[in-house]
Copies of this chain bind each other. A is one copy, B any other.
Amino acid sequence: MQFSSSLLENAVNEFAKLPGIGKKTALRLVLHLLKLDTGHVNQFSDIIAKMRSEIKFCQRCFNVADGDICSICANSMRKQEMICVVENIRDVIAIESTQQYNGIYHVLGGVISPLDGMGPDQLNIESLLHRIQKEKTEEIIFALNPNIQGDTTIYYIQKKLQPHHCRVTTIARGIAFGGELEYADEMTLARSLQNRLPVESYVSGR
């Protein structure tokens, strides 16, 4: 792509560095910004820079936070005895969007995956064990993606949790709502048969 302005070219190149944004999309975004007032564009750029420089990670659960403790941990209305263990911030946002969970979180920062060079030491596992020692915890819920890495991580942490007497659960795996039985893989279908629910609890749970 040939540009008659190096300012335009630099801006397009910066946008094109973002994941999933190609040169053509980057150009479209930049030309959109070019149509806005300078004030609006300055606001856009300030908010991005401020976000990166001022954002913190919660010292307790490693979720993003505006201060030392995130708004979920600081919320005394939430059950502080129930910890949901997730891989990353995106999973926290996904679970929060369901508005069905009223406990707190622990963000691991990844899952155990030797092929990607991710061992237990690079994850926030030690701090989870510290939390359970210090805090009164009744239940640990694993909400990790259902794959080999996720299951390995659950297995590893669960072993470490054994000395602590708290309930350890994992979110249900099964046929997704709206999914079709005939297209489900064998593993999912087998597990959803093993972990079948009494109909009364299914109906009342909706």
Binding site for B on A (CB under 8 A): 1-8, 10-11, 14, 17-21, 25, 27-34, 36, 38, 41-55, 58, 63-66, 70-72, 88-90, 92-93, 96-97, 99
Residues of B within 8 A of A33 (CB): 18, 48, 51-52
Residues of B within 8 A of A14 (CB): 43-44, 47-48
Q: Knowing A4-B72, A50-B7, A64-B5, say if A90 contacts B18 (CB, 8 Å).
A: no
Nearest B residue (CB) for A93 = B1
The 5 closest A-B pairs by CB, nearest first: A41-B52, A2-B96, A45-B45, A11-B51, A45-B49
Residues of B within 8 A of A46 (CB): 45, 49
- Consensus secondary structure, chain A interface: helix
Q: How far is the CA of A44 from the CA of B10 in the complex (A)?
A: 9
The reply to whether B70 and A4 contact each other, CB–CB distance below 8 Å, is yes
The reply to whether A31 and B89 contact each other, CB–CB distance below 8 Å, is yes
Q: How far is the CA of A87 from the CA of B146 in the complex (A)?
A: 51
Residues of B within 8 A of A17 (CB): 44
Q: How far is the CA of A38 from the CA of B49 in the complex (A)?
A: 8
Residues of B within 8 A of A11 (CB): 47-48, 51
The reply to whether B41 and A10 contact each other, CB–CB distance below 8 Å, is no
Residues of B within 8 A of A93 (CB): 1-3, 27
> What are some 16 contacts across the A-B interface (CB < 8 A)?
A1-B96, A2-B97, A3-B93, A4-B70, A4-B92, A8-B64, A10-B47, A11-B51, A14-B43, A18-B29, A18-B32, A20-B28, A30-B48, A31-B89, A38-B52, A42-B49
Q: How far is the CA of A90 from the CA of B29 in the complex (A)?
A: 12
Interface centre among A19, A34, A51 (most CB of B within 10 A): A51
The reply to whether A20 and B25 contact each other, CB–CB distance below 8 Å, is yes
CB distance from A35 to the nearest CB of B (A): 10
Nearest B residue (CB) for A61 = B4
